[in-house]
Structure 1
Amino acid sequence: MRYTYTVGISLDSSIKGEGFGPRLYGWLFECHGFWHNASLILFSLIFVLFLASQSRKSFLKLSHGRSHIIYSYYLFLWFVSLLNFAWCSLQTWECTAGKELAWNILSLFTSSGMLFLEVSLIAFLLQGNHASGLDALTRTFAISGLAVGLDMLLKAIYLFGFGIPLFIEIDEHTHRVKWGLWVVHRLLLTGIYGFILIMYHSRWRERLPGRPAFYKYVIVMFSLNALSLFACALTGNISGLGFWLYDITTIGYHALYLPLLYVTFLADFFQEEDFQLENASYSEMKDAGFFDADWE
Structure 2
Amino acid sequence: MRKLEEIGENISLSLSPASDFSARLSSSWIFECHGLWYNLALIFSSALFIAFLTLRAKKSFSKLVNGWSYIMISYYGIVWIVSVLNLAWCVFQAWQCTPGKELAWNILSLFTTSGMLFLEVSLLAFLLQGNHASGLEALTRTFVISGIIVGADLLLKAISLFGFGVPLFIDGDETNGVKWGLWVVHKLLLTIVYGLILFMHHTRWRERLPARPVFYNYISVMFLLNAIALFACMLIVTGAGFGFWLYNLTTICYHSLYLPFLYVIFLADFFQEEDLHLENAYYSEMKDAGFFDEDWD
State the TM-score bracket (shorter-chain normalisation).
0.7 to 0.9
Equivalent residue runs for 1:25-40 within 5 Å: 26-40=28-42
**Which range moves more in the overlay, 221-230 or 201-210?**
201-210
Partner of 2:274: 273
Partner of 1:54: 56
- The separation in 2 between residues aligned to 1:233 and 1:276, in whole angstroms, is 45
Q: 1:268 to 1:276 in 2, by over 3 A?
A: closer
Percent identical residues: 66
Partner of 1:112: 114
1:5-27, CA deviations, whole angstroms, 9 ceiling, x for partnerless residues? xxxxxxxxxxxxx8798268522
Q: Which of the residues 89, 94, 97 maps onto 2:96?
A: 94
1:54-113, CA deviations, whole angstroms, 9 ceiling, x for partnerless residues? 100000000011321111000010000000000000001110111000000000000000
**Which range moves more in the overlay, 77-86 or 173-182?**
173-182
RMSD, aligned CA:
2.0
TM-score by length of 2: 0.84
Question: 3-state DSSP class of the match of 2:250?
Answer: helix
Show structure 2 runs of 5+ residues with no match: 1-19, 280-297
Deviation at residue 125 of structure 1 after TM alignment: 2.0
Partner of 1:11: none
Question: 3-state DSSP class of the match of 2:114?
Answer: helix
Partner of 1:201: 202
Equivalent residue runs for 1:235-246 within 5 Å: 235-246=236-247
- The separation in 2 between residues aligned to 1:22 and 1:90, in whole angstroms, is 17
- The separation in 2 between residues aligned to 1:120 and 1:247, in whole angstroms, is 26
Q: Does 1:68 align with 2:46?
A: no
- The separation in 1 between residues aligned to 2:214 and 2:139, in whole angstroms, is 20
TM-score by length of 1: 0.84
Contact 1:87-1:110 at 8 Å conserved across structures: yes
Highest CA radius of gyration, 1 or 2?
Answer: 2
Contact 1:129-1:208 at 8 Å conserved across structures: no
Partner of 2:124: 122
> Runs of 4+ in structure 1 displaced over 4 angstroms?
18-21, 274-278
Partner of 1:190: 191
Contact 1:69-1:134 at 8 Å conserved across structures: yes
Equivalent residue runs for 1:1-296 within 5 Å: 22=24, 26-171=28-173, 173-274=174-275
Q: 1:189 to 1:276 in 2, by over 3 A?
A: closer
- The separation in 2 between residues aligned to 1:24 and 1:149, in whole angstroms, is 40
Question: 3-state DSSP class of the match of 1:204?
Answer: helix
Deviation at residue 264 of structure 1 after TM alignment: 0.4
Matched letter for residue 205 of structure 1: R
